[in-house]
Amino acid sequence: MSISKRKGIYAIKMKQAAHLLFFQRHKKPGVKGWELHKSIGSDYPKVLEILDEYLNTLGLQVKIVFEGEPTAKPTLDEFDKARFYVVLRGELQPKEPKLIGWRIDDLAGLAITIAFIISKKGQASRSEVEKLLNEKLPGWKVGLNIDRYIRYGYLQQDNEQLYLDWRTRAEVDQKVLIDALLKMGEDNKSKTDEKFTSSNETSFEEGTNADEDAAAD
């Protein structure tokens, strides 16, 4: 097969993959690997690699969410069982959350909730999450926000237990989130330590000056 013919075939397959990924046909966005396999052929992982390169210029990427932990080199069977999404590449710009209807405090609440559930090995009771968010958000918003996170696919609820849902797995780099929160905690601790040290030094200086004045009298 000539190079030009091969490029033409991949261009057609790439369009088919883009249509499957962008046009929602199920309750959940994205598409399962076996659907791509059926429509495009067994080389669909390679087709998606090429599509991902094109989407990079638009600030988008093809994200794969496997069932469980994939092997170092995922097999075709693992790809077939995975779900594929188109998501943002990188981070939202400061003004972008407002454009899609999110307030900064709502996003902060979501980040805290996801991190807390991760720390609880993947599940936490709704009452625990509500108690945590009550320390960060106005009380009237807590229940509404949790319901919103569930409705948008970031969390799922089974009885009173909350779990991470498909959208968190697709859109959130959990390691980056945890590292960012840990760094924020360390920075806040450093600032607190600096204030405490500065306060103690000031108190010590004031006490020393007072003793010197008393001695002089």
CA angle 48, 153, 136 (to 5 degrees): 125
pLDDT at res. 49: 94
Mean pLDDT of the chain: 82
pLDDT at res. 167: 85
How far does the chain reach from its first CA to its final CA, in angstroms? 103
pLDDT at res. 130: 94
SS3 80: helix
**pLDDT (tens digit, 9 = 90+) per residue, 5-21?**
878 888 999 999 999 99
pLDDT at res. 191: 57
Q: Phi-psi category of 64—alpha, beta or left, where left has phi over 0 and alpha has psi -120 to 50?
A: beta
Domains of the chain (ranges; CATH) run 3-88 (1.10.10), 96-171 (1.10.10.10)
Any residues with CB less than 8 A from the CB of 165 and at least 6 apart, and which?
150, 153, 154, 155, 156
Query: Does the pLDDT at position 200 exceed 60?
Result: no
The CA distance from 20 to 36, in Å, is 8
- Bigger pLDDT: 115 vs 195: 115
The CA distance from 41 to 158, in Å, is 37
Query: Does the pLDDT at position 199 exceed 60?
Result: no
**pLDDT (tens digit, 9 = 90+) per residue, 64-119?**
988 878 788 999 999 999 999 888 887 666 666 665 667 888 888 998 999 999 98
